């Protein structure tokens, strides 16, 4: 599903150059649940951003489901993001003045889907994350866990090939974190490919494979015995 | 482009901060109000002043005689002279560009001695001996009967057409003046028509106190021979009377043995020149109105541009999220542009309506408290409204342009990082 070859990325800050990714080689097959770990500054977020086409690599190849991702203009990148990827952020990034339902329907709006279909589909995904009764509430009327569920529903709504989660439990307490992870595990079991960036070992243990990043290089890439989140709730 | 979803999106974004949206909109509202009001007031002034010209054909001049000021061909200076009917024919024959040359003889004045009687009633009125075409130079409303005609002229019939105040002065309320006789300086004239001055302002009283009789009858009745007291001369459309004036004077001077350089012998008033001066003044005033109004409007537009920049800045993260979810840069840009357009146009529309209300109120007050000197019927035409709308659309786009560009300048990854 994802193939990455010799990926380099550096940032220029004035006269200093910060080499963040120093040649990443990395493949993800369909249906995998991968966590990317590493201390801050290890380049894990940069990697995720490049995977998410929010940022561009300097050199190296990136293929997503057979499509070469290179030199995309913003319009095509936006299109690919919309079709192929679902994002889950640490700070949820819901739009405050839109109801849960409208938030979930947003990617569908950008797909050009008709309102009626959109609402039906969004309602379906809200139900899937267990928030059917909250569809007309605004984000600030919800708890953190609920907001992240709305965000997950939003990421799922466009039926992407890959879910990218950047510290999805970073702003949640342990119990809520595990509930969210349970939901993510469930989605993965249905066959969705999911990448999670995290620095929490217990969260990483709930995935099927852990990739460890240090100073812009993968130092460790192992399959792990998945811990069921539900057993810890 | 304008689907219902788009509308919902835009209205949601605009109503997310209602107070600020209102304040911003007020700038444009105020600008367009001032613009429209300025133009309306300019128009009011123009209407007021041009109403003083009445409906008079503006490409006209009036000519009367004065004393000569230079001795010429053995004739002394300080000499009085009279225009003759022959002058009228000569002018008509020699200058084909002239549309009308109307000679006139005058008697009395509305503020002078009583000169008209009917039974027991008397009055002091202006009596004009005129030709039928005079009504084309100074249009008036014939309220009953007719104006003097050429058959009156040829037959030297003693007929007359009287103004509304003459009717009031000489007749009882329910009396029909048509067919009755009035005595002008001892000579009986039959009333064949009544008239009302059409919407002139300043000279209304004088007009209403006027009696028109056929020129030839006047000459015969009051022994003025073929003398002409006064001429109203109108040029054909497109032939400026001001340009024809020297030629007219030349002919008159030659016919009356007046020195070619004697400019004081012929008294004249050039309506076209006066009208042109006033028109020029108001063209400039109109321009000033546009200019000042546009400047005020511009500060409103800068306000919108400013607030949109702030909105974009505040929503940087939201825009980042939207782009992560698949919004193309153009989607974002067009949304910002449309937000600013809608804000500008709707506040502008309210401004135009408000200004229209104020103008209506002004007219209402003017109608009820009577006319004011040099000010009448402040109004703007549809063309001004459309111009204002056009300015609004252009400025709405301009106001949104910079913010829209800055909204998508940032890479989505950087936009998402901002808190």
Q: Does residue B62 fall inside a structural domain?
A: no
Residue B204 pLDDT = 64
Q: Does the pLDDT at position A87 exceed 50?
A: yes
Same domain, B282 and B387: yes
C-alpha–C-alpha distance, residues B127 and B213, integer Å:
7
**Average pLDDT estimate for A164-189:** 91
A14 pLDDT exceeds 50?
A: yes
Residue B203 has pLDDT above 80, yes or no: no
Answer with the residue of higher pLDDT: B223 or A118. Answer: A118
Provide mean pLDDT across the span A34-38.
93
Average pLDDT over residues A9-13: 88
Q: Is residue B111 part of a domain?
A: yes
Nearest CA-CA partner of A133 in A93, A184, A141: A141
Closest chain B C-alpha to A107 CA, distance in angstroms: 5
Query: What percent of chain B lies above the pLDDT cut of 90?
Result: 7
CA distance B13 to A232: 41
pLDDT at B272 over 70: yes
A109 → closest Cβ in B5, B328, B416: B5
Residue B273: which of B10, B119, B61, B81 has the closest Cα? Answer: B61
Q: Of the spans A164-173, B276-285, B302-311, which averages the highest pLDDT?
A: A164-173
pLDDT of A161 > 80? The answer is yes
In sequence order, the β-bridge partners of residue B115 are none
Domain assignment of residue B162, given as a range = 104-229
User: What is the mean predicted confidence (pLDDT) over B259-275?
Assistant: 85
Q: Is the pLDDT of residue B8 over 80?
A: no
Mean pLDDT, residues B277-296: 85
Q: Average the pLDDT over B337-357 and give the result.
A: 89
Query: In this prediction, what percent of chain A has a pLDDT beyond 70?
Result: 100
**Whether B174 and B299 share a structural domain:** no
Instruction: Evaluate whether residue B362 is within a structural domain.
Output: yes
Q: Tell me the β-bridge partners of B213.
A: B129
Which residues of A fall within a CB distance of 8 Å from B1?
none
Cβ within 8 Å of residue B150, ≥6 positions away: B132
- pLDDT, mean of residues B259-282: 85
* Subunit contact B419:A91, Cβ cutoff 8 A: yes
Q: What chain B residue is nearest to A111 in terms of C-alpha separation? A: B326
**Do B377 and B295 share a domain, yes or no?**
yes
| B140 or A151, greater pLDDT | A151
Residues of A in contact with B329 (CB under 8 A): 74-75, 78
Distance from CA of B341 to the nearest CA of A (A): 21
Task: Give the pair of three-digit tokens for residue B297.
Answer: 């409007």
Model pLDDT, residue B3: 66
Same domain, B406 and B334: yes
Which of B318, B327, B411 is opposite residue A78, by nearest beta carbon? B327
Chain A hits for B413, CB-CB cut-off 8 Å, are: 49, 54-55
Tens digits of per-residue pLDDT, A49-65? Answer: 999 998 888 999 999 98
- pLDDT bracket for residue A33 (50, 70, 90): very high
CA angle, A109 then A114 then A119, to 5°? 75
Chain A residues with CB-CB distance to B5 below 8 A: 109, 115
pLDDT digits (tens, 9 = 90+) for B358-405: 999 988 888 888 777 777 788 888 887 888 888 888 888 888 888 888
pLDDT (average), residues A97-116 = 90
Domain count, chain B: 2
Query: Quick check: B200 pLDDT over 60?
Result: no
- Please tell me the least confidently modeled range out of B123-137, B197-211, B294-308, B323-337: B197-211
Section A91-116 average pLDDT: 90
**How far is C-alpha A74 from the geometric centre of its chain's CA atoms?**
20
Which residues of B lie closer than 8 Å to A, measured between beta carbons?
4-5, 9, 12-13, 16, 317-318, 320-331, 408, 411-413, 416, 419
pLDDT higher than threshold 80 for residue B207: no
Are B193 and B147 in contact by the 8 Å Cβ rule? The answer is yes
Confidence of residue B264 (pLDDT cuts 50, 70, 90): confident
CA-atom Rg of chain B in angstroms = 33
Nearest CA in chain A to B5: A115
B330 contacts A81? CB cut-off 8 A? no
Q: Which residues of A touch B (CB under 8 A)?
A: 49, 52, 54-55, 74-75, 78-79, 81-83, 87, 89, 91, 93, 95-98, 106-107, 109-111, 115, 154, 158
> What is the mean predicted confidence (pLDDT) over A23-39?
92
Top-confidence residue, B214 or B139? B214
| Mean per-residue pLDDT, A72-95 | 90
A105 contacts on B by Cβ (under 8 Å): none
**Residue B261 pLDDT more than 60?**
yes
- Average model confidence (pLDDT) for chain B? 84
Q: How many CB atoms lie within 10 A of CB B365?
A: 11
> ∠ CA B409-B412-B415 to the nearest 5 degrees?
80
The reported pLDDT for the residue numbered B55 is 65
> By mean pLDDT, which of A112-121, B1-10, B254-263 is the weakest?
B1-10
Can you give the pLDDT at residue B1? 47
Please indicate, yes or no, if residue B167 is contained in any of the structural domains: yes
Q: Would you tell me how many other CB atoms lie within 10 Å of the CB of residue A51? A: 24
Q: Count CA atoms within 13 Å of residue B159 on its CB side.
A: 23
User: What pLDDT sits at residue B339?
Assistant: 85
pLDDT digits (tens, 9 = 90+) for B96-121: 888 888 888 887 655 567 788 888 88
Residues B146 and B209 in one domain: yes
Mean pLDDT of B198-206: 58
Find how far residue B79's CA is from the centre of its chain.
Answer: 41
Instruction: Reply yes or no on whether the pLDDT at B16 is more than 80.
Output: no
- The answer to whether residue A141 scores a pLDDT higher than 90 is yes
What is the model's pLDDT at position B48? 80
Q: What is the pLDDT of residue B201?
A: 45
Same domain, yes or no: B155 and B44:
no
CATH topology assigned to domain A30-58+70-232: Rossmann fold (3.40.50)
**What ipTM did this prediction achieve?**
0.90
Which residue of A95, A96, A114 is the best one to mutate when testing the B interface, meaning the one whose CB has the most B CBs within 10 A?
A95
């Amino acid at each position: 599903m994802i193939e990455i070859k010799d990926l380099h990325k550096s940032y220029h800050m004035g006269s200093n150059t910060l080499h963040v990714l120093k040649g990443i080689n990395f493949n993800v097959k369909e249906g995998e649940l991968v966590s990317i770990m590493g201390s801050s500054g290890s380049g894990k977020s940069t990697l995720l951003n490049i995977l998410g086409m929010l940022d561009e690599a300097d050199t190296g190849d990136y293929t997503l489901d057979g499509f070469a991702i290179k030199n995309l203009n913003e319009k095509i990148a936006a299109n690919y993001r919309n079709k192929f990827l679902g994002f889950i952020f640490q700070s949820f990034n819901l739009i405050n003045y839109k109801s849960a339902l409208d938030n979930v329907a947003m990617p569908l709006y950008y797909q050009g889907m008709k309102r009626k279909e959109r609402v039906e589909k969004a309602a379906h995904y809200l139900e899937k994350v267990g928030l059917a009764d909250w569809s007309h509430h605004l984000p600030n009327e919800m708890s953190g866990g609920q907001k992240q569920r709305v965000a997950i529903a939003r990421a799922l709504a466009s039926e992407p090939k890959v879910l990218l989660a950047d510290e999805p439990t970073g702003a949640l307490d342990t119990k809520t974190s595990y509930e969210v992870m349970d939901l993510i595990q469930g989605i993965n079991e249905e066959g969705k490919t999911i990448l999670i960036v995290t620095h929490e070992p217990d969260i990483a243990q709930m995935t099927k494979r852990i990739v460890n990043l240090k100073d812009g290089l993968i130092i460790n890439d192992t399959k792990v015995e998945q811990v069921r989140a539900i057993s810890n709730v | 482009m304008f689907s219902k979803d788009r509308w919902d999106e835009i209205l949601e974004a605009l109503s997310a901060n209602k107070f600020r949206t209102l304040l911003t909109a007020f700038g444009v509202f105020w600008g367009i109000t001032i613009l429209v009001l300025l133009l309306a007031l300019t128009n009011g002034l123009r209407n007021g002043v041009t109403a003083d010209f009445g409906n008079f054909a503006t490409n006209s001049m009036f000519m009367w005689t004065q004393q000569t000021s230079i001795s010429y061909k053995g004739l002394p200076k300080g000499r009085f002279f009279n225009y003759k009917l022959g002058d009228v024919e000569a002018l008509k024959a020699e200058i084909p560009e002239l549309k009308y040359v109307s000679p006139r003889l005058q008697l009395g004045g509305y503020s002078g001695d009583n000169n008209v009687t009917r039974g027991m009633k008397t009055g002091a009125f202006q009596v004009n001996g005129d030709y039928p075409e005079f009504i084309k130079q100074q249009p008036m409303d014939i309220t009953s009967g007719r104006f003097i005609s050429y058959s009156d002229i040829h037959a030297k019939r003693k007929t007359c057409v009287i103004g509304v105040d003459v009717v009031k002065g000489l007749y009882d309320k329910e009396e029909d003046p048509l067919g009755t006789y009035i005595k002008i300086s001892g000579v009986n004239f039959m009333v064949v028509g009544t008239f009302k001055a059409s919407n002139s302002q300043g000279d209304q009283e004088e007009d209403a106190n006027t009696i028109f009789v056929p020129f030839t009858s006047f000459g015969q009745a009051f022994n003025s021979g073929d003398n002409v007291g006064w001429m109203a001369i109108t040029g054909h459309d497109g032939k400026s009377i001001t340009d024809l004036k020297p030629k007219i004077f030349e002919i008159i001077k030659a016919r009356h043995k007046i020195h070619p350089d004697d400019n004081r012998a012929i008294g004249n008033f050039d309506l076209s020149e006066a009208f042109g001066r006033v028109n020029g003044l108001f063209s400039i005033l109109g321009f000033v109105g546009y200019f000042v109004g546009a400047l005020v409007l511009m500060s409103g537009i800068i306000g919108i541009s400013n607030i949109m920049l702030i909105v974009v800045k505040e929503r940087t993260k939201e825009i980042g999220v939207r782009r992560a979810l698949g919004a193309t840069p153009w989607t974002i840009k067009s949304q910002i542009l449309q937000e600013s357009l809608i804000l500008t146009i709707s506040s502008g529309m309210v401004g135009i309506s408000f200004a229209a209300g104020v103008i209506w109120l002004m007219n209402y007050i003017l109608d009820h408290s009577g006319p004011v000197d040099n000010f009448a019927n402040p109004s703007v035409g549809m063309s001004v409204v459309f111009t204002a709308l056009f300015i609004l659309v252009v400025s709405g786009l301009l106001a949104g342009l910079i913010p829209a560009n800055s909204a998508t300048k940032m890479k989505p990854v950087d936009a998402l990082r901002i808190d």
